[in-house]
Amino acid sequence: MSLSPKALAQALAVAGVAALLGLLVWKIAHRETTIADEVRGGKRPEAPGFTLPRLDGDGRLALASLRGKTVVLNFWQSICPPCEDEAPAFQRSWERYRRDGVVFVGIDYWDLSGNARRFARRFGITYPLVYDGPGTMMQPYGVTGAPETFFIDRTGRVVDHHAGQLSEDELAERLEEVLAS
Amino acid sequence: MLAALVLAAPALASERHPTLSELEPELVCPSCKTTLDLSTAPIAESMRAFIRRRIAAGDTKSEIKRRLVADFGPGVLATPPRSGFDLLAWLVPLGGALAAVAVVGVAAWRWSLGRPRREPAADPSSNGRAPLEPELERRLEEELARFDA
């Protein structure tokens, strides 16, 4: 049986529409859940890995290199007033908990690197800072705005998440829970 | 040649001495994904301040864009670069447009072939009837002449 060119074109058009419809259904059925969603749902997902350039020096920092330590991962921007407000609390908490095997890591995203470095100097931040200008880690972690903080246990699993500014007391309370777990 | 020089002169001036208003529509705010001239997001304000500082420092348009691409990646450019994989962003729409023109052309040609040919206009003297064969015409004339006689 041979198809006329017109029938062939119609068949191709119908197949194209069917493929697009299938893609839409697949996309809806497989909507990606973020780390923030999973933690809210009571799960302890593995923290998405990254290797990003350091803001506070040369080289890059890989999250995988911190396995075995408790990590406080803080997404921030120099243009975010709540980030300015919480920065001194984070620096003091880092100085207090680093002896307990806790590492604070700041991820600066959607920001100018020069402004981010000035921010770090202004607040005297000494914990590791990495730079993610294009914001590549926002989607896997489900970051919706700065600041947001994720608590990662020694096995590399995200056990707590907070969207918004954290005070020194709130930070200590959450960290104690992670360290005790 | 003269036209090319006339067109190239403003582009060269813009490259060497860019203004903020020239650069704004060519750059995208990373948080709101609109061009800088349409964005009031804090990062857009921060980028505008950066561009003003770089212009004052004597940077060319390309240098400013290069610095911003180094921070935010190629997505900060409103139009993709005309090189590497990004070249596809230019070639695919162009190829699509050419393919569409070819399809329409072929369809129009085939449609014109399929139309029935129009018959030549009838001779007014035939009174709407088809013309007679020459032999039949001659015999008709002879009969009419005999009838008139």
The parts of chain A modelled with pLDDT lower than 50 are: none
Provide the CATH number for the domain around residue B61: 1.10.8.640
The answer to whether residue B52 is domain-embedded is: yes
Give the per-residue pLDDT at A5. 78
The rounded distance, in Å, linking the Cα atoms of B43 and B31 is 7
B54/B72 same-domain check: yes
B14/B72 same-domain check: yes
Contact B42 A135 (CB under 8 A): no
B70/B103 same-domain check: no
Q: Which of A4, A79, A119 to mutate to test the interface with B (most CBs of B within 10 A)?
A: A79
B29/B90 same-domain check: no
**For B82-93, what is the mean pLDDT?**
76
| Superfamily grouping for domain A35-180 | Glutaredoxin (3.40.30.10)
What is the identity of the amino acid at B130?
A
Give the per-residue pLDDT at B101. 92
Q: Which domain holds residue B94?
A: 81-109
In chain B, how many domains are there? 2
C-beta of residue A108 within 8 angstroms of C-beta of residue A116: yes
Q: Is the pTM of this model over 0.90?
A: no
Q: Domain ranges for chain A, please list them.
A: 1-31, 35-180
Q: Over the stretch B97-135, which tens digit does the pLDDT of each residue have?
A: 999 999 999 988 888 887 776 666 656 666 666 777 888
The answer to whether residue B71 is domain-embedded is: yes
Q: State how far the alpha carbon of A11 is from the alpha carbons of A18, A24, B96, B104, in Å.
A: 10, 20, 20, 19
B38/B97 same-domain check: no
Chain A from 71 to 90: CB within 8 A of any B CB: 77-80
The answer to whether residue B141 is domain-embedded is: no
Give the per-residue pLDDT at B93. 86
> Measured between CA atoms, how close is A18 to chain B, in angstroms?
21
> Measured between CA atoms, how close is A110 to chain B, in angstroms?
6
Confirm whether the ipTM is greater than 0.95: no
Give the per-residue pLDDT at B88. 78
